[in-house]
Amino acid sequence: MPKKKLLSGWGRHPTVESRVSRPEKRVTLRSLIEQNGAPVLARGAGRSYGDASLLNSDGKTLFTDRLNRMLSFDSGTGVLRAEAGVRLREILEAFVPRGWFLPVTPGTKEVTLGGAVAFDIHGKNHHRDGGVSNFVREIELLTAGGKTVTCSPEQNADLFWATVSGAGLTGIITEVALELRPIETAYVAERTLKADDLGDAFALFEEHEPDYLYSVAWIDCLASGDSLGRSHLMFGRHATPDELTAKQRQDPLGYEPNHLASLPFDLPEGVLNEHTVKAFNQLFYARQRKRDKREVVGIDPFFYPLDAIGDWNRMYGESGFVQFQCVLPMEESYDGLKEILAEVQESGLASFLAVLKRMGGPDGGLLTFPLEGYTLALDIPRREGLEDLLRDLHEITARRGGRVYLAKDAYLQPDTFREMYPALEEWLEVKRHVDPENRFTSAQARRLGIEP
């Protein structure tokens, strides 16, 4: 029997009262969908930031985290078949010691496999490999009629490409076949470079990306004037055994996840403000004395630094925060990012975390986020003036031909959304066919007017 519970995304806003169930078997999942025709939404780990995994109490939110079995693995092809509720962390713990890594990973390993596919996650290697959908060989989807449909780029391809970026609105992903990446060690050969300004950062990306599989930049979004866009750029590739230290070579595939303390309480409102964040950014930028630093580091420090702090979202206080993530086309990226950074500075709303990445071309999903260009992600505390700032940032993004990532969004408006995602009508045609009564929906879908 569904129970009522207050839920939010990782940004802790908005909060809605939902009727929730946590099935442990797929037959139970199917029966919950078939009952009484109410709206339905699957929720994995709840790590989307805004309202994409929320549905109010007129429907049913079905947690899938107990449907998390790994079903089979083919060492010849590297294809893992697993239920959608398995977390990326569980895949890493099982397969890194066996010489396999995720083909694409976001900045947290706490998301579920189903959630990763539903938002076609991208990572530090998008400029080389694209999103996770390029490595998904097959999906099993439970549809509104209680039918299980197998889809892939070759079979039911229209449904596949609507699902891999469809935010859970075409049905419930129950099973995924994912091709893993072979690795020789559990370490990353990392190179960190300091960029004096945004132009310098762009030049360093251009120069060094051909030599590395992974690239990302931490950007000081509060630096101004000649230092606007100053950054630390981190490039990486999977280390080979001969690059390891003598101690590391004793167990080259030994995987040691970061397990540090959790934040036990909400920080007081206002602790993260323009002054404290600016001071932190200055210290962070100054701590690396060399302009060019090379070292071999573990998987977690390179890919998942924030996962070392449990419940790190509590740093922003009870009011929570918003992550604004946009991507701008290559020809608009430099001027557009300068304009966005200037807006953030003028607003006085500090962004503690700002991440810059180079992206390749669009992936095949109909509602895919990436464009060839640069993506910027900003974590902004919920304070007075936030909605005005986001409205301005959305306008800049749309005017320059970019788009906002739906997995992070909580404020985008319907008209702007449609402008950013021109394939929406094509996606809706698939939605009308597979879910004509619009059983699968979410608070985000309703806010954006996504209806068949």
What is the rounded distance in angstroms from the CA atom of residue 316 to the CA atom of residue 79? 39
pLDDT of res. 312: 80
Dihedral sign from CA coordinates of 393, 267, 233, 214: negative
Distances, alpha carbon 3 to alpha carbons 25, 31, 51, 59, 439, in Å: 18, 16, 19, 11, 19
Is beta strand 15-21 parallel, antiparallel or unpaired with respect to 60-63?
parallel
Amino acid of residue 315: M
Residues 6+ apart with CB under 8 A from 332: 373, 400, 401, 402
Instruction: Report whether 113 contacts 269 (CB < 8 A).
Output: no
pLDDT of res. 269: 67
Q: What is the mean pLDDT of each run of 10 residues along the chain (452 residues)?
A: 87 94 94 89 96 93 96 98 98 98 97 98 97 98 94 98 97 98 98 95 96 95 84 96 95 84 66 57 57 92 88 84 96 97 85 87 94 95 93 98 97 98 97 96 96 80
Instruction: Report whether 74 contacts 31 (CB < 8 A).
Output: no
In the numeric block, the tokens 């600016």 are attached to: 278
Nearest to 412 by CA among 374, 446, 378: 446
Is beta strand 60-63 parallel, antiparallel or unpaired with respect to 40-43?
parallel
Residue 136 half-sphere exposure toward CB, CA atoms < 13 A: 36
Distances, alpha carbon 236 to alpha carbons 203, 222, 402, in Å: 17, 26, 27
- Within 10 angstroms of residue 25's Cβ, the number of other Cβ atoms is 10
- What is the token pair recorded at 248? 């590391």
pLDDT of res. 287: 58
User: How much is the CA Rg of the chain, to the nearest whole Å?
Assistant: 21
pLDDT of res. 387: 95
Amino acid of residue 201: A
* E-strand stretches of 143-248: 148-151, 172-179, 181-182, 187-195, 214-219, 231-238
Please give the full DSSP string across 384-415, using - where no structure is assigned.
TTHHHHHHHHHHHHHHTT-EE-TTT-SS--HH
Cα 223 from chain centre? 26
pLDDT of res. 72: 98
Q: Indicate the pTM of the whole model.
A: 0.94
Instruction: Report whether 176 contacts 84 (CB < 8 A).
Output: yes
Is beta strand 187-195 parallel, antiparallel or unpaired with respect to 292-298?
antiparallel
In the numeric block, the tokens 């260009």 are attached to: 373
* E-strand stretches of 88-161: 100-101, 136-142, 148-151
What is the rounded distance in angstroms from the CA atom of residue 393 to the CA atom of residue 413? 12
Q: Where are the alpha helices (DSSP H) in 175-297?
A: 198-208, 246-249, 274-287
